[in-house]
Every structure is written in structure tokens, then in C-alpha cells.
Structure 1
Amino acid sequence: MREPERDAEFVEFARARAPWLRKVAYLLCGDWHRADDLVQASMLKLYIGWHRAGQVENVDGYARRTLINTFLAEQRGPWWQRVVNHQREPDPEMLADARSATALDLDAALDLRTALAALPPKQRAAVVLRHYCDLSVEQTAEILRCSTGTVKSQTARGLRSLRVRLAASGDDTMEGRGL
């Protein structure tokens, strides 16, 4: 494929899928600005390897895996260990997104996002992939490069932690979310 065609194809994909990847990234990291950074880093990796993406059957899955790998690699890196934002104010964009994207009341949505952000990275990734991206155990295991048993245990532990945290915050709507 010639480079101008390759670039145009990538730009079209990026415009169409960046908002979805941003939402997934936000669920993983809990910060819209960091989600933007994750998506940007993932898009750069995708662009560099775009010739490989054309060979896969599911380009969205390839992009999602790239995003998850970027997130998990960042969690292991020294930058993440040094820089941790505590007690930040809710992002106005996040509040607007919560109002328009969900019928749940705002407090419950913020409680869920706060509880999700408190999970360890692999548990958070497993919960987001299984329940937000609606992937099977096998698909999640493939993306996280682990066994199906690990996905099941990480998801179960993550959901248990979410239930405990939300019960402590007075949120009794877990059953309504399917968690």
C-alpha cells in the first residue's frame, strides 16, 4: 500500500475509534488527561505498525490490545511509581460525560469510577474488558496474555473489591449494573 493511502486509512480509523478508545482508557486510568495520553501513545504505536494492523482480522481488537498493553506497561514503569495524583477535583469533561452518557445518577457514577480507579491495574483491566468492552474470558485472556483462570480470578477479585467499596460508600445499585 502506498504511503498516502496508508495515512488516509489510518486517519479514518483514528477519527472513528479514538473516542471509544478514550473511554476505555479513562476506565483504566480514571483521569481524562491521562486517558488522552494513553490514546495518543497507542495511536502512535498503531501508526508505526499500521501495516500489521491491516493483516489482522479485527482491527478494533488490535487497537484495544495496544491500548491495554500501553496502560499496563505504564503501570510498571518508574514514572507511574513517582507520580500519583491524590485528591484531584472532578474533571468538568468527566462530569459532562457522566450526565450525558449514563442514566445512573451522577453520585453513583462517580462512586463507581472512584472504586474502579482503586483496583490494581490487572484487575481493573480485566473488569473493564469483561464488563465494559463485553469480551469473553478467552478474548480477555488473549489481550492480557494470561490464562483464562487468571482472567476469572482477577475479574472476581476486582468485582468483589468494587462491591465492598461501593457498599462502604452507600451505593446499593451494583445489581442494576450487572456487577
Structure 2
Amino acid sequence: MLTISPVSEEFATFANDTRQRLHSSAFQLCRDWHLAQDLTQTTLTKLFLSWDRAADSDNLPAYAQKVLFRTYVDHRRRRSSTESTPGELREPEYSMDLDLRITMLGALRRLPARDRKIVVLRYFADQSVEQVAAELDVPITVVKSQTRRSLIKLKNMLLRDRTALLAA
């Protein structure tokens, strides 16, 4: 015959009362119903294993929420939580007209040095506005406005070059 200790009974009551709230909180964290179930189960297991200490908490539901949040963070830190198995890996197919590339590089060379750096870092090195601002030691607003102005200059240069080529 299985006997239930008062501690186990106390935990079972607590788990029944808070399981749904923990599951709801877990779902709000991860937006995955099944992962939320796993996080809730792991949280309740951790609480059961340290029930003597947890039961002494002034606010046991808040303590359980904290354990849930830490469990979620631990899950996110694990590399396997963000890994996915890709389907077939394919190289992207890029095709650029050589004349267009030469024209584009020529237009880039005609930009002022800082404007050229901003465009190259943003669009060729694929850096964020914040990264470019930090690298060039300028405010983010400068990067945004200079990017916009530089792209307009490039567009006008390319249109002039195209017009000149068509006229020739």
C-alpha cells in the first residue's frame, strides 16, 4: 500500500492549484503549447525536489513563477533549443550583369568616403544601423539620414550613367 506523506500531499495540492497558471505563463513565454507543457512539468519537478525550501517562501506562487522563468531561460540557452534541421541546402543563385556591377562600383567610388562606408557597411556587410553607428562613432540618426541621402545620390548617378550609355 502506498502512503502519501503530508509533504507530498501539500505539494500535490499546490501543484493542482497552480499548474494551469504556470502552464499559461509558460505558453506566454514560448508561444508553443507542447513546450509550455514541458516547461510546466520541469518547473513542478524542480519545486518538488526542493519542496522543503520552496514551501518556506513568503509567496509560493511567485516563487513558482520565478522557477518557471529560470527554467525557460535555461531552455533557451541550450543550443538544441534553437537548432532546426534544414531541408536541402542550396547555394543561392545570384546573377548580376558584369556591366551593372562595374557601373555600381564606379558610382560607389564617387560617393564621399563616409557615405561610401555607411552604404558598404549597411548593404554589403549587412550590418544594422546600430552596428554602423558604433563602428563609425556617429549617432544612429546620422547613419539613417546619410544612408537615405547616399542611396538617392547613387540612384541619380546610376540614372545619369544609364542615360549617358543610352545616348551614346
- Which bracket does the TM-score occupy, shorter chain normalised? 0.3 to 0.5
TM-score normalised by structure 2 residue count = 0.47
Highest CA radius of gyration, 1 or 2?
2
TM-score normalised by structure 1 residue count = 0.44
Which of 1 and 2 has higher RCO (CA within 8 Å, sep 6+)? 1
